[in-house]
Every structure is written in C-alpha cells, then in structure tokens.
Structure 1
Amino acid sequence: MTRPVGAGAAVTRRLIRKEARGDLPLLACLGAVVLVLTVLCAWAPAFAGGQEDRALRQRVDAAQAQAPLISLSTTPQVFDTVPPAVDAAGLLDAGRTLTEQLTGPAARHVTVTGGSYDYDQASLISPRPPGPANTSTRLALSYLPSARAHLRYVSGRPPADQTPLGTAPQIGLSQATAQALGVRAGSRLTVEFAKTLGVQSEPPHAQLLVSGVYRTSAARDDFWSGRETLEQPSRYPAEHSAGTVLAVRGLVGLDAADLLAGAGVAGPRMTWQLRADLSGAALDRARALTGPLSHYSADLSDDLCQGADPLTGDLACHIGGQATGPLLVIDSLTPLLAAFTAQDQQARELATFAVDALAAVALATVTVAVRLLLRRRQTHLRLQRARGASTLRLVLLRCAVAWPVVAVAALLGWTAGQALAPSGTSGSPHPMTAALIASAVGLTLPLMTWLATREPRRPGRLRRSRRNIAVGRRVVLELTVLSATAAGVVALRSQGPDGILGAVPALVALTVVLVLLRCYPFVLRLVLRQARRSRGTVGFIGAARAAHDAPATGLALFVLVLTLGTAVFGGLVDRTIDDGLATGAAWTAGADASATVAGTVTPPSDTRTTGTRTALQHLYTLDLAGQADGAEISPVAVIALDPEQLAAVAPASPLAATLLARLPPSTDSRADANAPLPCLLSPDLRAREHTGGFTGKVVPDGQRPRDLVFTPVGTLTTAELHDPLLGPVTAQTPAGTPLLITTTKAARLIPPQPSGSTVLLLNGRTPATASPAELRSTAAKELGPLARIRVRSETLSALRADGLTRGLGTIYTTTSILAALSGLLALVLELTLTSHERSRTTSFLRTLGLGGTQAGALHFLQLLPLALTSAVGGTLLGLLEPRLMAQTLDLRQFTGGPTRPALHTDFSLAVALVAGVIALILAAAVTEAVLARRRGLGAVLRLD
C-alpha cells in the first residue's frame, strides 16, 4: 500500500507535538534559564554602566568643588599698544569661544564657568608692616569674582569693577592681612612691580586704595582649598638676610588690570575655568573628552598663535583682539579619569568571578535538565532506534522540539531586558553574549542526544580492556583539569583577572569536586566497614547506596560547591570592603573629625567646655643632615605634636602609647634652642643614619639662622606608621617622604613655612559632641572658616554610597541569588534523575519487610553524604579562592587607607548557606520518603 504524499511529514509533526507535550516541564526549565540569562545580557550592562556613571560623577563633582579640572591661562601683551592697556573684560568674555577648538562632541560637554587674573608677588613699599621681625612684604593681587559669595565685608566695600578715570585701583584685604599690614579701609598702598626686560629700565610703581576689609565665611564645598592666602598672611625666612618676609594677597576689581597697565605694570596671568558636564552617560562623555583634550593645547596654538614675540621669543597669540602670550592648558580631568579607570577595571575583574560562576551553574543546570529529558525518553529512543531510525533523525527530532522553545525564550528575554534596562548610561547591551548563551543551550541537547543514541561499538574487546580504557580516560581528564586549574591560578596571580581568567574559580571548583569525588567513596567505604559490624541493616544499605551513587552525583556536587563557593566569596568581598571602608574613613579623618589649614596655627581656645578632645599636629618640611656623615636628606616631613593630647584623643592608639612612652611630656617653659629634640623616625629615615642624629637649619623671625638637633629615641613600626592618627597629616606630604615625629617644642623653634600646615584632630567625649554639626562647629572655632574639615561619619557615608562599591555589591548579590536559584533547580532535577535508583532499592526492601520509618531513614542516609560533602566543598572553595588570588585581589581602591584591607570571611553568611544547603537536601530526602510511603504495595511491586 502506497503512503499518501505528505503523510510522513504529518506523522513527524504529530510526533513532535506529542513529545513536546511530554517534555513540557523540562523544556520550560531550559526556556527559563535562557530567559533569565538573556535578560541579564540586555539589562545588566546598562545597569552597571549607570553605577559607573554615578561613581565617576561623584569623583568629578568632588574634585570640581575644590578647583576647576580644566583651565586655560595666558598673559596679555600690555606694551603692544600705545598707551599700554589690558581689556580684561573683553579677554574674559572672549574666553567663552576657546572651547570651539575642541573637536567632536567634546565642545558640547565643556563650558567656561568664569575667568580671573593674578599678578605675581610685588614689593610693598609703604606702609611697612609693624614689628622689627618683618624685613619686607610681598603683595599678590587677584581678580576672583567667584570669591564674592564666600566673603563678608566688615568695613568698607568690595573693590569696584569700574573706577573713575584717574583714580587708584581698589583692593580688598582680609582682617588678618589688614592687621598684619597695619592698614584699614581708606588706606593707600604703594607697590613696586617687577620691570619688563627690554621695555623698562626701572621697576614701575603703583598706588592701591584699600576699599574694604572682609572676613571669610565657612565653606562646605572646599572653595578655599589652595586659596588660604586670601584670608591668612604667611611668613617665611628671607633669603639673603635675617628676618622674615610677610606674604599677603588681596582682591582687586575688574578694571585694575587696565589701570595698572597704564602705570607700566606688565599684564597679569589671565585664567579661564572650564567645567566638564558629565550628566547622563558620564563615562562615555569623559572618554570622548580625553582624546580632544590630549591635543587641545596644540589646536589652540595652531588656531590663535602665529609668529613669535620679538622680546621673549614665545608664540604671539590673539584672543578677542588682544595680543597675548602662549596658551597653557591644565588638564586634571584626564588623570582623574585614569585613576577611576583603574578602580573601575578592578570592579569589573571582581565582577567576572560572579558572572562566570553564574554561567557555569546555568550550564550545569541545562546539562542536568537535558540528562533528565533524555532519561525520560530513553525507552522511546531505544524503540525508535530499534525500528530503524537513524541517529541524525533522532537528533533532529529532539532539536525540532527544543530549539523553538530556546529561540522564543531568548527573544522574550532580550526584549524584556531592553525594556527594563535604564536609558542614557554608558553601558550597552551585549547581543553577542545573548546569542552565545542561546546557542550553547541549543547545542547541548543535540550533542547529548547524539551521545545517547549513537551506534554502539563493535563487540570483541574484553571487558577488562574496556574498563582500563575508561579508567585511563578518567585519569587523563582529571590531569587535564588539574593542569588547566594550576595554569589558570598562576596566570591569575601574575596578571590579574580578565574575561577568560575570570573562569578560573569555576576550574578551581571543578578541581575541588574531583578531589571530593576521589575522597568521597573512600570515606563512605570506611563508614560502610563500620556499618557492617552493627546489627541494623538500614545504615549499611544507606552507606552502600551512597558509595555506589557517588560518581553519579558529580554534577550535582559541582553545582552545589560552585554555588556555595561563589556566595561565600561574594560575602568575603562584601565584608572585606565594608570593614575596609571603616578603616579608610578613619585614616582620612584621623579621629572623629579633623581640620587642616595652611601654616602654623595654635588656637588659644579651651575645648574642655565643649566636651571635645583635640590634638594639634604641626607639619613642616625641612632639609636635614646626618650628624655622623653629614649626608643631606631632603625633604623630610617633620611633625610636631603633644603626645598627651594625642593620647587623650585616642587612648587605645598604639602610636599614641609609643609617643607618650618615648617622648617627654610637654611643658610651658621657654624652649631652649640649643637642647636636642627627641624624635621618632620612619624606617627609611633611620636607614640613612644608623648611629647618629640629624641637624636642620632654620631662620627664626628677626634672628640669625640656627641649627636644630634631633636625637632619635626610637623607630616607628609599620603598624604605627599606618595608625589613623597620622592619616590627615601624611596626606599633606608626597608618598615616600621620610617622616620624623617630635614634640611641640620644635613648633616654638621652627618658623612658619608657606608649605607647612596644621592638623587638628577632634574626638567627641559623648555621642552628642560626636555629631557632625558639633565637630564642624568646634573645628571652625579652633582653626577658622578656611579649615578643611573631614568628619569620619560623613566620609564613611560617602564611601559607602560610592557607585562602584554599591554596584559591585549589587552584582554579587544578584548573581548569588540567581546562581542559588539555578543551583536549586539543578539539584531538584539531579535528585529527580537519580530518584529512580533509590526508589527501586527501597521498593525491593519494602517487599522484604522494611518498615516505613526505616525506608525514610534509608532515604535520609543516602542523601546525607551529598549534603555534607557539598557543604564542606563549597566552604573550602569560598575560603580558598581569595587566598589563591591574594596578590591580585587589592580592594584598597574601594576602601582607601594606607594598606590593603585584610580579607575577612563572613562566617555567619557561610554558616547560613551551609545550613540552607544541608536543609534543602534533607528536605528532598523527607519528600522522597513521604512519597514512597504513600505508594500502595502494587505500585511498589510494579516499580521495577
């Protein structure tokens, strides 16, 4: 009988629909895995990019609050016109066009926020400052319109931007500067400026009118950082004579440059501040800026400068019709982006461990699902194979059932992920990764189907030889895994993780599983040997079945070990960063709070009434010479402090205890300049002078130079150098500078320095006095409104709110949850796959008289070794991974502080995870036992 045309196709379609309905639960598992992973491919990169953008904006905003990240400066050529003139208003307005030379979209992301100009220090001729110690006075002039919001004039008025023709330029001085000069509002200053070579034979003179005296207001945005001389004058030793030079700074109006040019003064340094707009996709915008900024200076010179100045030989430029010198571009955004890129790269490297572990667990889940699917279809596949179906036909049949499910799940996951992904971030979806995931899941089914239905090998080989071949293959496979793991660990420790080496933890997990599978049966055989001696049969049979099923549970063991290990590792990273943030905040603030101000300041107020302990640290930079060999050591950071104050601020500090024990207590008696100063040294400074002390030359106010002798009484240990009490003061010195700590006696002998600073440490005695507002108020009263104040609690909150830190925690939390769900699914499928053998054994025993309670105990004993082994292996993996990559696992970039934070395992999380896994497996045993007891005797007898 001839089959109608198309009848075979109809039969095939009916067979596909029938098998699809039968395989629907397992196909749903495959679809769920693909759906979740493709959602992550579309959503996670955009979300992570948003966290990176937020972190970069935090750093840029904090940096731009202190000073502009990008600035342009030049000097106008005053003597190119007759009479000499400077159109300051025109130059500052023309600066808005300077961003046009930035190419591409960079010009839209940079705006000119304002301009200013500054004159170099000039000699103040009259009035002479009071006091015989000041031999001369240097005055610097600045036009800084942005400072007006931070000033309050207590007498007079601000300098006018437009003064009547023929009048003197106006200047505003701070209260401290006016008192140091002995002037007030309405006083006149005579200033001598430097002469211009080739144009003038004598230095030009000009008169300035003090229009007002101001007082600075406390600024929370660090506006005064680097501008302290506008409020406080500084003093430094004269170069060629005894005495002190008084350096002051004042504010002038807009037209002061033109008035001074008329008096023959060379042009000031004009500066334009540029602000980078990094809203939205901050990281992409910053990357778009770095390229144009790298050749911005050359582009400006090509566009605005032609020829050379006949006097100086420099390029002659024209901005807004005004002849100027060459343009200087200061770019601080590029170094900031480079530092952020290093931190971001570290975060991405850490994230690859979690992502790769999730991918490995998902692939294992897919493998278990396909194994269970093929086990359910094993009878049908054998029947079809016996009826003449080819291996290719069976593989295509399975693909026709599964591939549409995988494709639909991938499309739905990708669509949902794009809908959920935030827009306007620097991250973009990964379609290639999603396609690879769908392809890997789709190809797993035909590959395993082919392995299950391929032609059997021809008989003829001895069973012993086949067994030897199988054992040899297993040995080769295990040796390959061990070699790959060792090579991966070595590469990871030498060069750090990347997209490929991020899979090393999965290899380590596989190695741990192989080791456990080798030890697992041996331990069970020992238990079995003890169980033989007991009278009961349940323990013996349970141990025997567990030992027999040990090789078959390898995949479930791998899933559990990898899931547990990744979760424990994620908890370790989170705990280490959290503990390290507290250490970093303590190092930044020094105590509950710290305040830093330029110069040497000794506040007279008594903080005992405020309930706050304080300690002063004076920082100086000196050139020292060894007494034994006379070798010069420059520069050396010298810190003068009172050990008693330091011990009161931090009673538990090892540094304070050492200083209190080694350095003599402070006294109020007059310092003897000839007495040696006891000190403690950093190890690098001690290594330069093993036996003797050090000598440093200083020039006190109005006196002859004298030598200070420092006598070492000890060497600071590494722990003492990393004490948080030194954090704020060492932040003022370049890395690697030798350190010397001495008593406050040195502060009475060393004159003030322009490069020196004072740090005030504050510690509240009660929670009320430790509040940020109270600490800031006390610090401002002690060191003035220009002090840069850092509060430990605020610093810690800012560190914890950092986008990179929170993003890394979110990635590990999300991947750990998804890996746990995927591992749970894989475990359920694996237990379902192996439940037939357990139920078969229980059925035989129940026909022989085994009771229901004993059957439940048997299920429990068969799965207990798997639970314990997975718990031990997962915990071991979570503790082993960070130790293997300790050389590359540097979390200091997230925490701050002087050293790498110590790795801290979250043992409470580890115990909770292990208990959860054991409870899960034992719950599965209870469920199997309950289901077995509900079966009737007929079902039990027919189970085989």
Structure 2
Amino acid sequence: MKILALARVHLGALAVLALLTLSACVLLAGLPRLVQGSFDAALHQSLRGATASQVDLAVRVESRSRQEDLREPSQFAARDQRFRSILPDPLRGLVLPAGTGTGHMSAKTWGTPVRGSGGMTYVNLGWLSDAGRRVRWTEGRAPGAPGTMNHQGTTITVFEVAVTEEARDKMRLRVGDLRVLGESDHVAVRVVGLFAAADPADRYWSHHPDILRVTEVQPPGKLDLERHTTALISDAGLTALSGEGRNLRYSWVLPVDPGAPTSLGVSELTGAVTAYGRVVGLQPGGGSQYRLETGLPQLLTGFLAALSTARTVMFLVLGGLLAVSVGVIMLAVHLLTDRAGEALALARARGGSLRQVAGTGAALVALAVVPAAPAGYALSWLVPGPVLPIVHAGPALVCGAAVGFAAVRTALAHRAPLRERRDDVAAARPSAGRITLEVLVVGLALGGAYLLRTRGLAAGTAGDDPFLLVVPLALTVAAALVTIRCYPYPLRLIVRLAARGRRAVPFLGLTRAARARSGSVLPVLILLPALAVSVFASVIADGIAGTQRLASWQDTGASLRVTSPVELPADAVARVGAVPGVELVVPAQTASVQLGYGGERAEIIAVDLGRWRRVLDGAPVSVPAMPAAGSGVPALVSPELRGRGTLEVGWQTRVKVSERGVVTAVPGFFARGKFLVVPYEINERAAVNTLLIRGDADPRAVTRAVGQPRAQVTSQAAALAAIENAPLTGTVRVVLLVTTVALAGYALVAVVVALVLGAADRARALTFLRPLGLTERQARGLTMLEILPMILVTALVGLALGLGLPAALGPGVDLSAYAGGVAVAGYSPGLVTPALLAAGLAAVAALGAYAHTVISRRRAPGAALRAGELV
C-alpha cells in the first residue's frame, strides 16, 4: 500500500498523534531531570548546612612515645599524601586538593591542667599547619621557638603561645603571663599574643571550636565552672611537643567538596567511606592505629531517609503521568487505525497478507511518532539536571508502545478479510475468567491499602517500600475496573424509567450509553488515572503549602523574633515598639540553667504566655496558658523532665519551680531535650535578651531600633521564603503544577478523542433517526445523554480516588523534606480544583457533542448508510 497517500488522507489524525507524542516525550524526559536535579541541589544544601567537621574526612592518631612523635611539618605533609593516595575512586573526585578548602593538619594535646588551679583550668597546646592564614593577631606577636626554664630543680620546656581574647577575659591569660602545665610531667607556657579568627564564619573552625572559644563545664557536685582552652604554638614549637608525657593527637583533614556528591551516588559513597576507614586503620603508624573520623555517612544516610518517601511519591506522580500520556497516545492510535480501517480492510480483501496490513498500520503510526519522539527528547535537554535512564527510555517506550499497539490492533481487526462485528445491538458479556481476574485485582488493591495503613512502611525500607508503588497503581486499576463494570447498571435502571415516558430521546440516549462499545469505555482507563493523579498532586501541593507555613511559625515563634547574647536595655525595647508596623512587643528571658546542684542543665524561657498567645493570634501554632500558681513558681516542663515535681533551678538566683504541665515543644525555641517555661517575673530583675513581636514591620528597621550589633532578628516571612525557595520545595511546586496541568489536558484530549472515536457510529444512528422526525435539538440531547454519563461517572470516581489517595497511603506519605522538616499531615483538600476539573470535562463533552451534531447535520444519508439499510 502507498503509506504516504494514506497519510495525506488522515493528516489530521497524524498531526494529533505527533503532537501528543512530542508533549509526552518532553514531559517524560524533562521532568525526571528536573526532579533529580533538585535532589542533588538538596543534597549539596544539606552538606553545606552541616559543619565541616561532619562532612570532611579526618584521619587521627595518638602519639604515646617519642618514637611516634612528628616533629616537622614535612612529616605531616608526607602522610597527608599517603592518605590521599589510598582514597577509593568514589571519594577521590570529592576530596579537594591539599591546601584548599578546609583541608589542613594539626597536633593537639588535651586534658592538660594548669598547675595550682585545682583541676578547674586547662590550657592545651595546638599546632595548625595553616594558622598563618587562618588567624589575625590582635595583640602582642605570633609565637616563636620554645625555650627552657628551671622549675623545682628541673629544666622544663617553655612554649610561646597565643590565646583568644575570650580566654584572656574568662581565664585571665594576659600577654606576658607564664603558666606551668601538668601534674607530673611539667611544661610551661608564656602568652606572647592574642589572636582572632580571620573569618569567624569560615566552616574551617568547626574542626577547632576549642581554639576559638573557651569551653565551660560544670563538674557534678561543684558550683564553679571548669574552663578549657587550646593555645596556638608555632611550627618551631612542634619540635618540642611530645606524646610521651601528655595526651597528644595528630590529625589530617581531607576536605570534601559539599557540591560534588550526587544523590544517585549516595549509597556508593557511603560504602566507599566505610572501606576507606578500614584501609586507613591498616596503615603503619608505630604503636598507635590510625582511625577515620567523619560524619559523612550519617549525613548521607539521614538525607536519604528524609528524602526516600518524598522521592517515591514524586516518581509515583511521574509514573501516573507516564501511564496517562501513553494511554492517550493509544487512544490517538486507536482513532487513526479506525480511520484507516476501511482502506486496510479493502487491501486485506484484495489479497494482502496479514503481515502487510499490520505493517501498514504500524508504518502509518510510525510516520507520526518516530519524528515526534526524537524532537521531544531533544527539547527535554533544555531542562537542567542529571541524565537518568528514564530520559533515554521514556521516548523510546512511547514510540515503541504506539507502533506496537498499532501493529497488534490492526492485526486483530483484520485477521480475516471483510470481517465485521455489530457491538451496538447488545452489551458484550465478559467471560467468567475475566470477571474472576478483575475481582482479584480489586481485592488485592483493597488488601494492599489496608496493610499499608495498618503495618506502615516495611522496616528499613523507608520510601523504597514496594507497597508505596504498587498500592496506588492497584487502587487506580481497581477503580477503573469497577467503574467500567458498574456504571451501565444504574443507567439501565434509569433506562427502564425513561422507557415509561413518552419522550424517545432520553430512552435512546441512555440506552446507547448503557450499551457502549469497548472503544467508548476505553477512555475511562485514561480519564480516571488522569483525574486521580492530578487531584492527588493538587492535594499534596496544598498540604505542602500549609505545612510550610506551619514550619515557618514553628521556627520563629512570632512574626518577628529578636534574640541577643547580651541584655537588651529598656530603651531598646521601647524603640522596637515604636517601629512602624509593630503591633505588640513581648519581652522574654532565655538561658541555660543548672538543675539541682549537679551537672544536669536545661534550657529555660521566662515569658508572659498570655501576651505571647496574643502575638500568635491567627497563626497555625500556639502556646498553652500558664496554669494558676500554687506552691512555688509554676512551670511547664518538657517530657524529659516530666514527673519530677519540684525542681531547684540555678539561674540568677536559686529558684524552686513546680511542674504544672508538660509541653512537647516551644515554637521558635525548643523542639526536644530538657527545657522549662516559667513566668516572666521569675527573676527579681528581668534581663531581657529576647523580644517576640507581632506585626508586619521591616526586619531591617527592627534591627536598627535594637541597636545591638550581636542581636539577630528572625522573620516568619523570611523563614517561609527560605523554605519555599529551597531546591526541593521549589521543584516540587513546579512538578506538581506541571503534572496537574498536563494530566488535566490529557483528560480533556481523551474526552475529545472518545467523541471522535464514536463519531461514525453516532452519525449513522442519527441519520437513521432524522427521517423519523428527529430534530437538531433532539439530536444534540441524544448525543449528550450518550456521552455525559461516562464522563461524569469517571470524573466523580477519579476525583474521589485522588482525594482519598493521601489517606489510603497513610504513613507512606511523608513529605517533610518539602516542608521544612515538618511532617505533612491532615490533608484538607479544597473544592476549587475538583470543581474546575469536573466543569472542564463537562464543558468539553457538551461542546464536543454540540460540534458533532452540527457536523453530522451536514452529512447526506448516503454518507452514513449503505444500500438497503433505509427503506
């Protein structure tokens, strides 16, 4: 047969098929790249948000003798090269070159007491390979070479050291001071300078918090604080530093680039870190064993755990899009093969083999889909993101499915020459085996949904539980089967009622709807999942948006929150209250306090809860009211402090507080751990360091009004914007919106194709009825009565399934990764999207019916009837 001539005759159907194929390939190849790119960006953001000490690879070893000591920087550099040379291939591309990023080498002592301090003051010695570019000198000079002095008749080493200004103030270590360290093996330190970090915000300093800050610990049974600091020594001082008489640890930090890992390689990367740790432990190091310290595997595992379910739900939505798009293309192929059916039947009757006829049908479809699929694939490369297998497989799957379906359907339709069927006389009866299979599918779907809700996710599978993929698909297939099988029965009851009436149009229209051909009910398999997935996506999007707002309020605890490490004076509070847009200012005090007389500590906030509730009026979070005071100061305690009754709190003074209730979290302050909420008047003089503000004031104006450089102003609006603009949350909104629009469009296309598929049969029936007196108005009514029942029933079932899927999936739907870490629960879908979808489908069906009757009105009876059919 001449394929091109046949294509010219059916050019319109070919164009529709090509357009559907193009759009499907763009979506199926582009959206996965967009989603996977957001996963990578979220991973990079997670690693950048963690401290460098968690992300980097740190190799450590202890020196216990002079033979194990390293005295020269070159010795450290040689071992750094060795540790880099044994990196596994997955890690080799992630570790930055030596001397860049946060990479460095160090030597530190620990637990070195100052002689005569009673074990309450500790000054440790630390050497950093890159101290020269990491610190700046604020007083005195840089440390130099060590010297010696006589102490109790023994010559001891005197190290020149530099300390921070905080150590000077809290530990009284001033320039020129000399301190003897150790209890048995003594050394001395002379403070020759003060230093500060060249960039205090540099992630590098997370490896050395003990150098920048004084660590304060309250020993059990003591009221005074134990203070620790690490003083810097020079390269020359390294020659006298030995582990023979004190605790000494060497470290090599291999910096990991936070922007290098990909979410697809997380599992491989975690295994590589574990393998590297084993290899490091086998390296020769004298009497001590090297060990690898890093929090990278825990970070990666936590990232996957937080993302796995959200990833599954996202790809579930994309899987629904794939199924619907392929289904719509099948409908278009069905339309094209029906249009070409007469020519193919004639070719078969004239001696054409079944292979030739089926090949012709497949070639005709290939003319449309083969050029369109590569074009869609090429357009998908405009979407940024990594290339996944589905990017290549999606267009090939669409193209292969369309051509294969065309070949199979054509072969089945023309396996015998001039074979005709009449499906409009009576409804087809399904076989017993088919009914049994459909009942089994429905039962398995309901059982799977029940198990998913009752047992939750399988242990250790997180979002990779196969139930999360199988149950939604099974529920959709079950709903489609039930709809196809059940919707004719209520129509037949209505037909019986219509048969008693005197009007013929309702009876004829509903009868044709109840006796629909298989091609007429085929769109149900497209409409129902399209509506279900699009509504499910819109419900998920609404739930995420609401939870994002909840997370922002939980993060801030007020419209604006001011926190300061020092006390805020009364005039600063007054200035904040006068800022335009500020409606209410509630002062509060926060601190870390001692519980009892031991080392146990807890966080505390003193605030007027009644006024704070006014600040949170209208917000999705609230705080409880403080119960009436009884004996002692009332307090709300965390679950960890539940049941203790009366607690003695060491704050500005010793105060006894009595438990009056339990709170699991305090918005803006505490979410876990040990904490208390007490009245604002607990202290004799309120040392205000926190302000809770209601209003829409400019955060910058509030910052200027506070006048404290170290104060921080947190805005609920800014917190919400940060959550919404995160890589994951931004992408999920785009994907859900695109999916909803695309599926709604495919649903409407399915309605139109369904109208066109039955156009010839419907025109033939109308042509029979017009000589009997059927008017144009009655023809439009008959057509609408034939089409609308299937459309409306499918729309209602699809909407109900989409609204019920979040509840059916139950614990499997965890989208906290898209909502600031807060679990998305309590979906409360609105009626806007369902109403728009239903109205759109009904409108398209009505317009299609009207257009069809207008077109068929112009056709002559001979165009639809054969000789002898009308007498």
Q: TM-score, normalised by structure 2?
A: 0.81
Deviation at 1:435, TM superposition (A): 4.3
Q: Does 1:660 align with 2:660?
A: no
Contact kept? 1:583, 1:897, Cα under 8 Å: no
Aligned partner (choices 577, 581, 606) of residue 641 of structure 1: 606
Deviation at 1:838, TM superposition (A): 2.9
Contact kept? 1:170, 1:208, Cα under 8 Å: yes
Residue type at the aligned position of 1:353:
L
1:621-632 alignment, distance < 5 Å: 622=595
Contact kept? 1:123, 1:193, Cα under 8 Å: yes
C-alpha spacing 1:217/1:27, structure 2 compared with 1 (3 Å): closer
Contact kept? 1:237, 1:700, Cα under 8 Å: no
Deviation at 1:224, TM superposition (A): 7.0
Deviation at 1:614, TM superposition (A): 4.0
What secondary structure sits across from 1:925 in the alignment? helix
Deviation at 1:659, TM superposition (A): 4.2
Residue type at the aligned position of 1:639:
I
Aligned partner (choices 170, 179, 182) of residue 193 of structure 1: 182
Q: Does 1:713 align with 2:673?
A: no
Partner of 2:257: 277
C-alpha separation between the residues in 1 aligned to 2:28 and 2:865?
50
Deviation at 1:639, TM superposition (A): 3.5
Partner of 1:336: 299
Aligned partner (choices 128, 139, 152) of residue 156 of structure 1: 139
Residue type at the aligned position of 1:610:
V
| Deviation per residue, 1:565-597 (Å, 9 max, x gap) | 111111112222222222223333343466889
Partner of 2:59: 72
C-alpha separation between the residues in 2 aligned to 1:449 and 1:916?
33
Contact kept? 1:297, 1:327, Cα under 8 Å: no
C-alpha spacing 1:842/1:331, structure 2 compared with 1 (3 Å): same
Contact kept? 1:169, 1:208, Cα under 8 Å: yes
Residue type at the aligned position of 2:660:
V
Partner of 1:212: 194
Deviation at 1:909, TM superposition (A): 2.6
Q: Does 1:929 align with 2:853?
A: yes
Residue type at the aligned position of 2:825:
P
Partner of 2:645: 693
Residue type at the aligned position of 1:828:
V
Residue type at the aligned position of 1:69:
D
| Identical pairs, percent | 24
C-alpha spacing 1:511/1:193, structure 2 compared with 1 (3 Å): same
Contact kept? 1:218, 1:780, Cα under 8 Å: no
Q: Does 1:398 align with 2:361?
A: yes
C-alpha spacing 1:284/1:482, structure 2 compared with 1 (3 Å): closer
| Deviation per residue, 1:416-460 (Å, 9 max, x gap) | 55x54657x3645554555444333332223323332345999xx
Aligned partner (choices 805, 808, 815) of residue 732 of structure 2: 808
1:704-783 alignment, distance < 5 Å: 711-714=658-661, 716=662, 720-725=663-668, 728-730=669-671, 733=673, 741-742=677-678, 762-769=691-698, 771=699, 774=702, 778=706, 781=709
C-alpha separation between the residues in 2 aligned to 1:226 and 1:535?
92
Contact kept? 2:638, 2:676, Cα under 8 Å: yes
Aligned partner (choices 91, 109, 123) of residue 113 of structure 2: 123
Q: Does 1:137 align with 2:84?
A: no
1:222-233 alignment, distance < 5 Å: 227=209, 230-231=212-213
What secondary structure sits across from 1:660 in the alignment? coil
Deviation at 1:880, TM superposition (A): 1.6
1:205-354 alignment, distance < 5 Å: 205-212=187-194, 219=201, 227=209, 230-231=212-213, 234=216, 236-237=218-219, 239=221, 243-249=223-229, 251-255=231-235, 257-258=237-238, 261=241, 266=246, 268-279=248-259, 282-283=262-263, 289-306=269-286, 308=287, 315=288, 326-354=289-317
C-alpha spacing 1:341/1:434, structure 2 compared with 1 (3 Å): same
| Deviation per residue, 1:214-266 (Å, 9 max, x gap) | 69987497967983884566362465xx5413414254243474376389964
| Deviation per residue, 1:717-754 (Å, 9 max, x gap) | xxx525524xx3235x3xxxx665445788899xxxxx
Contact kept? 1:356, 1:502, Cα under 8 Å: no
Residue type at the aligned position of 1:122:
T
1:513-552 alignment, distance < 5 Å: 513-525=480-492, 527-528=494-495, 531=498, 537-549=504-516
Partner of 1:618: 591
Aligned partner (choices 469, 485, 505) of residue 445 of structure 2: 485
C-alpha spacing 1:547/1:73, structure 2 compared with 1 (3 Å): same
C-alpha separation between the residues in 1 aligned to 2:357 and 2:110?
88
Q: Does 1:584 align with 2:508?
A: no
Structure 2 unaligned regions, length at least 5? 150-157, 578-584
Contact kept? 2:563, 2:689, Cα under 8 Å: yes
Contact kept? 2:606, 2:678, Cα under 8 Å: yes
C-alpha separation between the residues in 2 aligned to 1:145 and 1:258?
10
Partner of 1:360: 323
Partner of 1:556: 523
Range moving further from structure 2, 467-476 or 367-376 = 467-476
Partner of 1:98: 83
C-alpha spacing 1:523/1:32, structure 2 compared with 1 (3 Å): same
Range moving further from structure 2, 888-897 or 494-503 = 494-503
C-alpha spacing 1:209/1:174, structure 2 compared with 1 (3 Å): closer
| Deviation per residue, 1:612-638 (Å, 9 max, x gap) | 54433334575899xxxxxxxx97856
C-alpha separation between the residues in 2 aligned to 1:579 and 1:66?
35
1:412-431 alignment, distance < 5 Å: 413-414=376-377, 417=380, 419-420=381-382, 422=384, 425=386, 427-428=388-389, 431=392
Residue type at the aligned position of 1:661:
P
C-alpha separation between the residues in 2 aligned to 1:391 and 1:100?
66
Q: Does 1:476 align with 2:436?
A: yes
C-alpha separation between the residues in 1 aligned to 2:314 and 2:359?
38
What secondary structure sits across from 2:113 in the alignment? strand
Deviation at 1:773, TM superposition (A): 7.7
Deviation at 1:802, TM superposition (A): 2.8
Residue type at the aligned position of 1:227:
P
C-alpha separation between the residues in 2 aligned to 1:448 and 1:527?
34
Partner of 1:62: 49
Residue type at the aligned position of 1:51:
S
Residue type at the aligned position of 1:930:
V
1:667-682 alignment, distance < 5 Å: 676-682=632-638
Q: Does 1:376 align with 2:366?
A: no
Aligned partner (choices 811, 815, 819) of residue 891 of structure 1: 815
Aligned partner (choices 753, 756, 761) of residue 832 of structure 1: 756
Residue type at the aligned position of 2:85:
E
Aligned partner (choices 24, 29, 49) of residue 36 of structure 2: 49
Contact kept? 1:86, 1:267, Cα under 8 Å: no
C-alpha spacing 1:812/1:287, structure 2 compared with 1 (3 Å): same
Q: Does 1:866 align with 2:790?
A: yes
C-alpha separation between the residues in 2 aligned to 1:79 and 1:73?
17
Contact kept? 1:356, 1:503, Cα under 8 Å: no
C-alpha separation between the residues in 2 aligned to 1:455 and 1:524?
35
C-alpha spacing 1:430/1:932, structure 2 compared with 1 (3 Å): closer
| Deviation per residue, 1:863-902 (Å, 9 max, x gap) | 3333422331221111121111012111123324454433
C-alpha spacing 1:837/1:804, structure 2 compared with 1 (3 Å): same
What secondary structure sits across from 2:841 in the alignment? helix
Contact kept? 1:170, 1:209, Cα under 8 Å: yes
Q: TM-score, normalised by structure 1?
A: 0.75
C-alpha separation between the residues in 2 aligned to 1:597 and 1:244?
25
Range moving further from structure 2, 832-841 or 492-501 = 492-501
C-alpha separation between the residues in 1 aligned to 2:324 and 2:164?
67
Partner of 1:319: none
Contact kept? 1:617, 1:641, Cα under 8 Å: yes
C-alpha spacing 1:366/1:297, structure 2 compared with 1 (3 Å): closer
Aligned pair count reads 834
Deviation at 1:110, TM superposition (A): 0.7
Deviation at 1:24, TM superposition (A): 4.5
Deviation at 1:855, TM superposition (A): 3.3
Deviation at 1:676, TM superposition (A): 4.6
Aligned partner (choices 549, 574, 577) of residue 608 of structure 1: 574
